[in-house]
Amino acid sequence: MTTNIRYKSRIPIKSDETVEEKQYVGFATLPNQVHRKSVKKGFDFTLMVAGESGMGKSTLVNSLFLTDLYKDRKLLNAEERINQTVEIIKHTVDIEEKGVKLKLTIVDTPGFGDAVNNNECWKPITDYIDQQFEQYFRDESGLNRKNIQDNRVHCCLYFIPPFGHG
């Protein structure tokens, strides 16, 4: 069984000041088809936030997306913060606004820049970004490319402290 789907396009045709609809299938309808498919499927977006503790990273993320991603977070005392190293924590939330679905992944880097000696504190972050790109490349190179998870970092916000050595 074959179905013939025709997409309507409004092209004004002058006939007594009325607009008639002409039906056709062609390249002109391709953007509409891709748009509908993308909106139906939804979008993946991965945001990485990096910076020292207390810079307002979680406050900004919660304000941007009107959600509380860090409701189960516990604050560390001074001794725990001294021994803390840079770690990567992923938070995922599904957001839907006006029928558009967004799978938002926030990659947080607690402990980044909090040590006295910050030599190579950026190493775990770059390793994580490289690892995600390599995983996506392996998935794209494989045979089954239908349901690939895109966990690559799309945007990284780096918070710079307002004080320092100039």
CB 101 within 8 A of CB 42: yes
Q: For residue 113, which amino acid is it?
A: G
Pairing of strands 155-159, 89-97: unpaired
pTM for the whole structure: 0.68
120/9 Cα distance (integer angstroms): 57
Close Cβ partners of 25 (under 8 Å, ≥ 6 residues apart) = 5, 6, 7
- Are 42 and 103 in contact, with CB atoms under 8 Å apart? yes
Q: Tens of pLDDT along the chain (166 residues)? A: 444 444 444 445 455 555 445 555 565 676 777 777 777 888 889 999 988 877 888 888 888 888 777 676 666 665 655 555 567 888 888 888 888 888 889 998 877 777 667 777 788 889 999 999 999 999 888 888 777 888 899 999 988 888 766 5
Structure tokens at 109: 């880097």
Q: Return d(Cα 123, Cα 62) in angstroms, integer.
A: 27
Residue for token pair 């190493």:
123
At residue 156, φ and ψ (nearest 5 deg) are -125, 120
